Amino acid sequence: GPTTPPPSGSGKNVVGYFAEWGVYGRNYHVKNLVTSGSAAKLTHILYAFGNTTGGQCSIGDSYADYDRAYSAAESVDGVADTWDAGALRGSFNQLRKLKKQYPNLKVIWSFGGWTWSGGFTQAAANPTAFANSCYNLVKDSRWADVFDGIDVDWEYPNACGLACDSSGPASYNNVITALRNKFGNSFLVTSAISADGSNGGKLDAADYASGIAKLNLVFPMTYDYYGAFNPQGPTAPHSPLTSYAGIPTNGFWSDAAIQKLKSKGVPSSKMLLGIGFYGRGWTGVTQAAPGGTATGAATGTYEPGIEDYKVLKNSCPATGTIGGTAYAKCGSNWWGYDTPATIGTKMTYAKNQGLGGAFFWEFSGDTSNGELISAISNGLK
């Protein structure tokens, strides 16, 4: 097999998710990366998501990806899209234009995610066929120049996410190996993985270390540990860095995942710390400190129990910190989320641990002047 590729960069990787569907209700487009000042602070963009239906890489949303016509005003370079035969439009064309302005920026196409991981079970049964399908899609002549890498966001190998996978502990490594063999060593292969630091949890259900050995970078999703998916609480910030007295679940904090991965032999320099640009919250809460009971999910703009940082910083400002992250109680609502200050704490941790940088979900949760990505970028210096 191929030799292990070196991790990219110098511990200063700043990697952000661009959500394919953000161009709709969120009205967040590639141009916003420029106007917010974010593009200049990034090393990589993860474009999320491609689908995995039938154990094959496939287009997630063709309209958003390559068909939507951008006006001159909406476009990165002030040039409108055309309907000429063969012309690329949509976010893919905007990313192409972005890369012309920021030639060091890498764009990675991420496949799977919570909703679209089901096809990985079939992919694991024939990893070579999966890798071939991914290669043919990512390297399609219409947009091959847009992408510098492919990302596997399998939630979760040999464990349960939206659905359950029982393909066995070797399946993750088999899929990653097939992709590395097909794409070669000059192409980036990355992966978002569980950040379950508990004993016998998701990170122990599959042989992650062997797969990660073939990756350039790995993204443990150190967020969403707690939330109104448990509608009665107990309240807890969704992305604690460290444990604290009364934390609801053993191993459900960021450092637990990082230390577990280190203990499996994963190099620190390949790991990026995950940051959420959103909060998770409950309503019907009477207690300001974490650990209180609730009656359900707090109202959110797009879905119950979740709200963007850019909204929460004004609607429910942080009133305390615990476990290296922040929380807020306003009325009967209780929210946990990261602020520029707690991101600073987390970036100091990332540097002290020798991590390769940080990644975040996702751009549209930040303020219009990019204050969270600025906190990441400045904190890693």
Cα 110 to Cα 107: distance, rounded to the nearest angstrom:
10
Dist CA 45 CA 108 (whole Å): 6
Taking CA 248 as the corner, what is the angle to CA 242 and CA 249, rounded to the nearest 5 degrees?
75
Is residue 303 flagged as an active site residue? Answer: no
Report the run of H or E that residue 296 belongs to, with start and end.
strand 296-297
Strand partners, 44: 15, 106
Taking only Cα atoms into account, the Rg of the chain, rounded to an integer number of angstroms, comes to 20
318 CB neighbour count, 10 Å cutoff: 20
Q: Are 42 and 105 in contact (CB under 8 A)?
A: yes
The verdict on whether omega for the bond into residue 74 sits within 30 degrees of 0, i.e. cis, is no
Kindly give, in sequence order, each residue whose CB lies less than 8 Å from that of residue 313, ignoring residues fewer than 6 positions away: 339, 367
Report in angstroms the alpha-carbon separations of 130 from 42, 62, 113: 30, 20, 16
Q: Which of 20, 74, 155, 371 is catalytic?
A: 155
Q: Which residues have CB under 8 Å from 139's CB, separation 6+?
A: none
Please identify which residue in the block is written with the tokens 């969403």. Answer: 224
Instruction: Give the residue numbers marked as catalytic.
Output: 155
